[in-house]
């Protein structure tokens, strides 16, 4: 296993399905026989909670402790000290402590490459490493982009979500130019999709025209459904919660498209 794909799942707009996509793409890839590591890089720790850790702030070691160790050049922790295992995936959890770490990164040596240096130990161990980014383009997200081979952008089919793509794509291109020449766009995934809404066609037309020539737009779309958010409330993926739901089936197909896209 030499070709580990490190994929940041990012959009500076909140509520577009980043965490839902990380959970369900990751577990679907695991069911396809892939070895998957998920990283919760958001102080809100929604990814961690979606896997049943309802009190992430009580976890002894999270990604916040790992960043603190990197900043202060402390001896590396062993993976068994912080990895959680759920639904065939390994997970590095987060907690609110991460919010206190981001300001400290600014003064760190080679601050943009902290996460990349940490993840070197996992390259060749996993097929996919998925990073659930926080809804901002701050130093944590820049670290994720610098560590990644590509960025997957969930986009809700509504105006503000689509309009925010301009700043996000420019940030990705800046990181590619200055910090990570290997960074690429994994593609755009439409989430909370409802084909019967008039604005949906308008937004899809806008995104396709503005970005379709340069960024892959995945064929699979994730439908709008309560079955997207309900599973996280009970700490499960959509597949475990209801394998026959439209959301579960859509993510299974999306995982196959991601694998085929290479």
Q: What is the pLDDT of residue 1?
A: 43
pLDDT digits (tens, 9 = 90+) for 4-34: 999 999 999 888 999 999 999 999 999 999 9
pLDDT digits (tens, 9 = 90+) for 144-194: 999 999 999 999 877 766 777 999 999 999 999 999 999 999 999 999 888
Do residues 163 and 170 lie in contact, with contact meaning Cβ atoms separated by under 8 Å? no
Backbone angles phi, psi at 110, to 5 degrees: 50, 55
Q: What is the pLDDT of residue 227?
A: 74
Domains of the chain as residue ranges with CATH: 5-257 (3.40.50.300)
Residues whose CB is less than 8 angstroms from the CB of residue 177 and which lie 6 or more positions away in sequence, other chains included? none
Question: How many angstroms separate the most distant Cα atoms in the chain?
Answer: 56
Distance, in Å, from the CA atom of 131 to the CA atom of 149, rounded to the nearest integer, reads: 11
39 or 107, higher pLDDT: 39
Tell me, what DSSP letter sits at residue 113? G
Q: Which two tokens stand for residue 221?
A: 């779309």
The model's pTM is 0.95
């Amino acid at each position: 296993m030499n070709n580990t794909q490190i994929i940041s799942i990012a959009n500076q707009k909140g509520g577009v399905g980043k965490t839902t996509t990380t959970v369900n793409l990751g577990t679907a890839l695991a069911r396809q026989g892939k070895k998957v590591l998920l990283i919760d890089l958001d102080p809100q720790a929604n990814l961690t909670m979606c896997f049943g850790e309802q009190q992430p702030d009580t976890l002894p070691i999270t990604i916040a402790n790992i960043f603190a160790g990197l900043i202060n050049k402390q001896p590396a922790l062993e993976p068994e000290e912080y990895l959680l295992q759920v639904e065939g995936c390994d997970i590095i959890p987060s907690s609110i402590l991460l919010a206190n770490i981001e300001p400290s990164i600014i003064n760190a040596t080679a601050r943009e490459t902290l996460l990349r240096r940490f993840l070197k130990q996992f390259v060749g161990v996993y097929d996919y490493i998925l990073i659930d980014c926080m809804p901002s383009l701050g130093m944590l997200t820049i670290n994720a982009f610098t560590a990644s081979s590509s960025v997957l952008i969930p986009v809700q089919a509504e105006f503000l979500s689509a309009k925010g793509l301009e700043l996000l794509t420019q940030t990705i291109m800046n990181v590619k130019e200055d910090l990570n020449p290997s960074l690429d766009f994994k593609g755009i995934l439409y989430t909370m999709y409802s084909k019967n809404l008039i604005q949906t066609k308008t937004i899809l037309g806008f995104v396709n025209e503005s970005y379709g020539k340069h960024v892959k737009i995945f064929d699979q779309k994730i439908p709008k459904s309560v079955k997207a958010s309900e599973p996280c409330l009970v700490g499960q993926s959509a597949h475990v919660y209801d394998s026959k739901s439209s959301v579960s089936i859509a993510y299974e197909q999306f995982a196959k498209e991601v694998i085929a896209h290479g």
